[in-house]
């Protein structure tokens, strides 16, 4: 059933597995303090690689969230999704979210790349009989959303968006629409990714997309800085619980923020590079603003933008151009930051954790910083909140995600009580 009058959507739970911490509290405190998670790669020997750094998750123990036998059958990106989903449910104050009115929409860009590499090694060695019986289920991206649904008993829509670095944001936006416009009450949503592998690092090196600042890992991710030389591959999961507004109120839930709008677009330009004029990003932001206008949001209500801000030359400049086009003179007054300066770029999971950061920024009135912004690019001349977080009362805020293939997604959230 589709509703003629859109319903409101609340963010009531957050679960995080990130390079700067495991769990909401540890991660968010690190982000507010400007602490990064980039360091030398430990997953495989890096001798001979151009890039030897990444933003790895540290100290994750899968058995804390699932049975040991089950963990062995699940790739790391699936383990992260299950763990973060269970954290989010717990954070929402619920013990049971199962049922036909509950679903799962997650984003993931590359899926089980490590399983593919490991099993291809067996083929290359002439041992096809040694291919794991769990290879295909461990590799395909939708096993993240599928396993979360199995663990939590979610009988509603089960969807995996694979739209590169916009996947997590597309997932959150689609999940919100399923609650707003259709007869679903709760969605587990966000993104997950884990591809710190030889093939991924080599592939990104081949297109000169990632940083080679191996001697200074903590300073390698530097969005909007003149000396940036590419993004840093990160991993983890960011999961949110979205609920129909009255359902959340009736059970006395703590609400972090309200989802006000979602916009998507395509550059239709190039398979990896954004257009210089930022036209696809402009369209996605305007689509999100138009969607949020149904809740009477205006341009002046946006008090913060969590930028895509990858630390690549082309993206950071194009996003700056797009922000100026959308906000006009207001662009120079709005605080904008890239949390990728601390977490690295979580690819398909980026929109999940950044949507969580958006909700937390609104809830606490804290804008996280862009670290390593020592020498701003003259072409990136907006207020990118260098080095230190700021305390700002936020009525509404926006998060941008742009991906290879020219795919774009934008989420807008608002403060509880500001949109009655």
Q: Active-site residue numbers?
A: 165, 308, 345
Residue 391: how many other CB atoms lie within 10 Å: 9
What radius of gyration do the chain's Cα atoms show? 20
CA atoms within 13 A on the CB side of 347: 26
Helix pair angle (313-327, 279-292), 10° resolution: 40
The label of the residue with tokens 């067996």 reads 122
List helix spans (H) across 34-106.
68-72, 76-91
Q: Which of 174, 379, 400, 381 is nearest to 283 (CA)?
A: 400
In sequence order, the 6+-apart residues with CB closer than 8 A to the CB of 329 are none
Residue 220 · residue 374 · CB < 8 Å: no
- Bridge partners, 103 (sequence order): 187
Strands 336-337 and 302-306, how do they pair?
parallel
Element spanning 217, H or E = none
Helices 24-33 and 350-364: crossing angle in degrees, nearest 10, is 80
Burial code (b: 16+ CB inside 10 Å, e: under 16) for 192-224 equals bbbbbbbebbeebeeeebbbebeeebebbbbbb
**Cα-based distances in Å from 135 to 72, 88, 358:** 12, 28, 36
DSSP 137-188: HHHSTTHHHHHHHHHHTB-S-EEEE--GGGHHHHHHHHHHHHHHHBS--EEE
For tokens 């696809």, name the residue: 280
Q: Is residue 318 exposed (0-12), middle (13-18) or buried (19+ Cβ within 10 Å)?
A: buried
């Amino acid at each position: 059933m589709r509703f003629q009058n859109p319903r409101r959507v609340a963010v009531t739970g957050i679960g995080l597995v990130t390079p700067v911490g495991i769990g909401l509290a540890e991660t968010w405190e690190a982000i507010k303090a400007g602490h990064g998670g980039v360091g030398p790669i430990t997953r495989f020997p890096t001798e001979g690689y151009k890039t030897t750094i990444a933003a790895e998750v540290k100290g994750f123990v899968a058995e804390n969230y699932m049975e040991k036998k089950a963990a062995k059958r699940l790739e790391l990106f699936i383990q992260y999704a299950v763990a973060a989903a269970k954290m989010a449910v717990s954070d929402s104050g619920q013990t049971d979210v199962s049922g036909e009115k509950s679903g799962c929409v997650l984003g993931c860009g590359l899926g089980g790349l490590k399983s593919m590499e490991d099993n291809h090694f067996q083929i290359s060695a002439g041992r096809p009989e040694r291919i794991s019986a769990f290879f295909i289920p461990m590799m395909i991206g939708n096993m993240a959303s599928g396993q979360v649904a199995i663990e939590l008993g979610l009988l509603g829509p089960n969807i995996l968006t694979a739209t590169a670095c916009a996947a997590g944001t597309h997932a959150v936006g689609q999940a919100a629409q399923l609650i707003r416009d259709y007869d679903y009450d709760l969605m587990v949503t966000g993104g997950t990714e884990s591809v710190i592998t030889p093939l991924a690092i080599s592939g990104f090196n081949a297109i000169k997309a990632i940083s080679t600042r191996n001697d200074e890992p903590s300073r390698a991710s530097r969005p909007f800085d003149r000396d940036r030389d590419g993004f840093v591959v990160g991993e983890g999961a960011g999961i949110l619980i979205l609920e129909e507004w009255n359902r959340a109120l009736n059970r006395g839930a703590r609400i972090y923020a309200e989802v006000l709008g979602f916009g998507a677009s395509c550059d239709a330009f190039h398979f990896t590079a954004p257009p210089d004029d930022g036209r696809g990003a402009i369209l996605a932001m305007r689509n999100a603003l138009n969607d949020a206008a149904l809740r009477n949001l205006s341009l002046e209500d946006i008090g913060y933008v969590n930028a895509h801000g990858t630390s690549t030359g082309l993206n950071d400049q194009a996003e700056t151009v797009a922000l100026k086009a959308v906000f006009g003179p207001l662009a120079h007054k709005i605080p904008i930051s890239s949390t990728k300066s601390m977490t690295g770029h979580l690819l398909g999971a980026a929109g999940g954790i950044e949507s969580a950061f958006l909700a937390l920024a609104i809830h606490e009135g804290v804008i996280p910083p862009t670290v390593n912004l020592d020498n701003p690019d003259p072409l990136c001349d907006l207020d990118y909140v260098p080095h230190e977080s700021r305390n700002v009362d936020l009525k509404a805020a926006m998060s941008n995600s742009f991906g290879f293939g020219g795919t774009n997604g934008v989420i807008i959230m608002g403060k509880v009580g500001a949109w009655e």
